[in-house]
Amino acid sequence: MLYQFLQEPEDFLHHIRRYSNALTTTMVFGWRTPTYEDEKMKQLFDGFSQFADLNQQGAAGMVDFFPILRRLPDFLLPTKRKAKILHQHEKALYLSHWLNAKKAIDAGTIPPCFCVGVADAQRKEGFSDDLACYISGTLLEAGSDTTSSTLYAFIQAMVLYPDVQKRAQEEIERVVGSKRLPTMEDADDLPFIRCCVKETLRWMPTTILGAVPHAANQDDMYMGYVIPKGASVMNNVWSINMDPSRYTNPRKYDPQRFESNTKSLYDSAVDPDVSQRDQFTFGAGRRICPGIHVAERSLFLGISRILWSFTITPALNEDGSPNLPNPEKLTQGFVCMPEKFKATIAARSQERSDIITREWQQAETEFLDPQSKQWSKIPDEVRNAISG
């Protein structure tokens, strides 16, 4: 990703998406996405967008509120017909990923990944390939879009809040220096970067309604309202994260608000005192996002290394004035992100540019097949992380 930032900085959203998708496919299926032009990755993100558009239509909500409408023929309900077509494409994508992984498992050529465990469970439990493909495919969907949307939001925050960027880079300079990239071993010594991770998740949550409804398992009472057993309950992440009684001036990007919070994202998310939780972007209750640990590490590495490598400033209009994005303009759907914006991303020095280029070339030579750009050898750190 950093190397692609150097080569084509104007396409930073593409590079972020490829990074998050490749990270997820490696963990779930054992292969990486080498380029943004990969047709299956583009289909995944296009599917997100189309499903989001579909869910904004009034007919989708009507079918939820009045299930009897589902009995109408497709020609009377175009939304239903389009949803079926999208589902067919999604299922075909997920099934192809799963069957390819299963074939590699049978051949003994697959690297350590989540699908190995799914295949073992399938042999024991006897569930279908359709179910297996959605178990793995849902993880791919969840891991790809949320991480990339958060990193994209971080880039926007750096455009809008240069003082935060300056302080974060000063901390990295003090701890890491200019001769190497930050690693996970630096996390405890980079508390402000960890604050940036938390604040990005709070300031621009990707799942503003918790993505997936929960359900009450018994009758409950809240503020005089009865919540009956079985009722769907949405987690209004946006309202909680933007509550001024919890966060002063909530639409300001201010990592310092988390300076006294040294907990990991998971430890904070399960704190029985909900007033002490840092944000609710990963949900709440027993169905909290299982990828929270992966997200914390990938966001820390992404944010710290982007800041180590680059200076992020506003793009300029034709008259030379800064073209500042509007942080209140978000895309709509299950997963939200800032509407597309421009930014200027430049290497902080030739020395850092050379380090990025050298490290990428070394990794490419040691770990990737020269033709396919797929793994020829899995790095020990990746292998241990997945196996663990």
Residue 180 has pLDDT above 90, yes or no: yes
pLDDT score for 331: 87
Q: What is the pLDDT of residues 57-113, one digit of tens each?
A: 666 667 777 777 777 787 777 777 888 888 888 888 899 999 999 999 999 989 889
Single-letter residue type at 80: K
Residue 378 has pLDDT above 90, yes or no: no
Buried b / exposed e over 146-172, threshold 16 CB at 10 Å, is bbbbbbbbbbbbbbbbeebbebbbebb
pLDDT score for 81: 80
Cβ pair 387, 111 in contact under 8 A: no
Segment 250-277 shows an average pLDDT of: 93
Q: How confident is the model at residue 242 (pLDDT cuts 50, 70, 90)?
A: very high
Cβ pair 64, 99 in contact under 8 A: no
Q: What is the pLDDT of residues 290-329, one digit of tens each?
A: 889 999 999 999 999 999 999 999 999 999 999 999 999 9
Single-letter residue type at 109: T
Residue 253 has pLDDT above 90, yes or no: yes
Give the C-alpha separation, 44 to 136, whole Å: 13
Q: How confident is the model at residue 138 (pLDDT cuts 50, 70, 90)?
A: confident
Residue 232 has pLDDT above 90, yes or no: no
Pick the more confident residue, 384 or 89. Answer: 89
Single-letter residue type at 110: I
Among 96-105, 137-146, 177-186, 309-318, name the one with the lowest average pLDDT. Answer: 137-146
Domain that holds residue 52: 2-387
Give the C-alpha separation, 41 to 330, whole Å: 22
Q: Give the CA distances from residue 2 to residues 5, 122, 267, in Å, rounded to whole numbers and listed in that order.
A: 5, 38, 30
Residue 160 has pLDDT above 80, yes or no: yes
pLDDT > 70 in the chain, percent: 96
Helix (H) or strand (E) holding 88: helix 78-107
Any idea how long the chain is? 388
Residue 153 has pLDDT above 90, yes or no: yes
Buried b / exposed e over 252-282, threshold 16 CB at 10 Å, is ebbbebbeebebbbeebbeeeeeeebbbbbb
Range list of H helices, 221-341: 237-241, 265-269, 292-309
Give the C-alpha separation, 378 to 381, whole Å: 8
pLDDT score for 150: 95
Q: What is the pLDDT of residues 347-366, one digit of tens each?
A: 999 999 999 999 999 999 99
Give the C-alpha separation, 183 to 202, whole Å: 24
Q: How confident is the model at residue 38 (pLDDT cuts 50, 70, 90)?
A: confident
pLDDT score for 39: 80
pLDDT > 90 in the chain, percent: 64
* CATH number of domain containing 178: 1.10.630.10
Cβ pair 303, 154 in contact under 8 A: yes
* DSSP annotation string for 222-246: ETTEEE-TT-EE---HHHHHT-TTT
Give the C-alpha separation, 33 to 323, whole Å: 32
Dihedral of CA 68/71/72/75: which sign? positive
pLDDT score for 333: 72
pLDDT score for 183: 95
Nearest to 156, CA basis, from 388, 325, 350, 355: 325
Mean of pLDDT over the chain? 90
Pick the more confident residue, 63 or 16. Answer: 16
Instruction: For residue 194, give every residue at least 6 positions away whose Cβ sits within 8 Å of its Cβ, in sequence order, or none.
Output: 187, 258, 300
Pick the more confident residue, 116 or 66. Answer: 116
- Look at the chain and report how many structural domains it folds into: 1
* Largest Cα span, the chain: 66
Q: Detail the DSSP E strand segments found in the chain.
A: 214-215, 220-222, 225-227, 232-233, 310-316, 322-323, 343-347
pLDDT score for 233: 87
Segment 226-236 shows an average pLDDT of: 91
Among 9-13, 42-46, 149-153, name the one with the lowest average pLDDT. Answer: 42-46
Nearest to 172, CA basis, from 367, 306, 365: 306
Cβ pair 202, 241 in contact under 8 A: yes
Q: How confident is the model at residue 12 (pLDDT cuts 50, 70, 90)?
A: very high
Cβ pair 113, 127 in contact under 8 A: no
